[in-house]
Amino acid sequence: MTDINLRENFLKQHKFISIFLCYPIKTLIRFQQKHGTLLQDSLKLIYKEGGLKRFYSGFFYRYISKSAEFIVLLEALNSWSNITQNNVNPINLLLSFVMAATIQQTFVPFNSLYYFQQVYGHTDGKELLFYKVKQNGALVFYHGFWSFLCGSFFGGLGAFPALQNYQNYNTQEENKKGEYSMFYLFSAFLTAEVISNPFKILAIQKLTSIECRSYAQIQHQLMQEQGYQWIFRSVDTKLLYSFLKTLFIVYAFDYKKLSREL
């Protein structure tokens, strides 16, 4: 069985588990990006709004959109199999990005709904989104879309060198669970999260604001509130999120792959 086949089977089997485990952290990140609170303060505020259940606001809609994105992810992984240490196929990378953009645009209503619910809670989030749509039309669903897309694109570009190094180390059997493999994967995740963070903050602000505002107005308000520090909102939580994702992949997928090969 090939590396891609093993990875596909692993993702199919553990897709729900990974989303379920990571979703509370994603709720924390969206809450911080909206309100500018620190990790410990966000934990207290979210829990006060509805207990543990509040951390899973919008989970159902996220699972629907993520299941669709999962198809694109497999295509990207198959494209990745054509990338060697010194030979990057830009066409495959471009096609993967276009596919991801297409699927994201298709499922924007689901994404908008769970973003609202992550920020405002299950009931309030749904009501506020529908109120905004009623006042301003269906294009509200696409508020922040291009900023999300730019964040994903530039984050992916920035993380590519570290991800390529991880792939190289991962092909060497003795290093599948080595420190270098884990370091490069963690670096890839964290780099992508940090680079994309300002774009996603702007996107969340634009999408979840009840008033329709331009990016310039949003940036001006953020500068007034926090100065340039606004670009670091949620970075503390993203550090934890990147570390947990790395552990899950290196010590779950790579270990399972190695055990099958042996």
**Residue 42 belongs to domain with CATH number:** 1.50.40.10
The secondary structure of residue 83, as a DSSP letter, is -
> What residue numbers bound the domain in which 13 lies?
3-261
Spatial neighbors of 184 by CB under 8 A, at least 6 apart, are: 162, 163, 165, 166, 169
* pLDDT value for 14: 60
Measured CA to CA, the distance from residue 63 to residue 208 in angstroms comes to 20
- Residues counted in the chain: 262
Measured CA to CA, the distance from residue 128 to residue 116 in angstroms comes to 8
Spatial neighbors of 153 by CB under 8 A, at least 6 apart, are: 97
* pLDDT value for 9: 53
Q: Per residue in 21-43, pLDDT tens?
A: 889 999 999 999 999 999 999 99
Q: Per residue in 157-185, pLDDT tens?
A: 888 777 777 767 666 655 445 667 778 88
H or E segment at 146?
helix 145-170
Contact 260, 224 (CB under 8 A): no
Residues of the chain short of pLDDT 70, as ranges, are: 1-15, 68-106, 167, 169-179, 252-262
Contact 250, 182 (CB under 8 A): yes
Q: How many domains does the chain have?
A: 1
Residue among 153, 150, 177, 154 at smallest CA distance from 166: 177
Measured CA to CA, the distance from residue 54 to residue 118 in angstroms comes to 8
Spatial neighbors of 32 by CB under 8 A, at least 6 apart, are: 38, 39, 42, 233, 234, 237
Structure tokens at 3: 């590396």
* pLDDT value for 235: 93
